[in-house]
Structure 1
Amino acid sequence: MPALLRTLKARLSRRAHYERTLSELRRMDRAVMNDLDLTPEDLPALAHKAVYGA
């Protein structure tokens, strides 16, 4: 059972990190997004890659 709790805690931690990362990306100024050739639709995938890897 402790392994299950550790796994759950790790997954919840990563999910929280993903949500924080996505929130920060969504605060990015549109001009900066344009300079980086990003659209709002790109942000969830970018946050996912940053937190969970390729």
Structure 2
Amino acid sequence: MGKNKGAAKGGCFMMSGWFVLAAALFVLLVFAAIATLYQLGVWDEFWAELF
């Protein structure tokens, strides 16, 4: 039973590792998209239309 718990913990660690990696990539993607929009000058128009 103790062995099984250790394996489950290892799997959980792997999952959290993948989750952190995916989250970091997502944040990077969003940041890149915002930066691109800002460079194109669309960002200000977008906010002006939003509010």
Using structure 1 for the length normalisation, give the TM-score.
0.55
Query: Matches of 1:5 and 1:41 in 2, distance apart?
Result: 35
Instruction: Please state which structure has a larger fraction of its residues in helix.
Output: 2
Where in structure 1 do 4 or more consecutive aligned residues deviate above 6 Å? none
Using structure 2 for the length normalisation, give the TM-score.
0.57
| Equivalent residue number for residue 41 of structure 1 | 47
Max Rg structure: 2
Identity rate of aligned residues, in percent? 6
Q: CA RMSD in A?
A: 2.1
Structure 1's unaligned 5+ residue stretches are 43-54
Matches within 5 A, 1:1-40: 1-29=13-41, 33=42, 39-40=45-46
Larger RCO of the pair (alpha carbons < 8 Å, separation 6+): 1
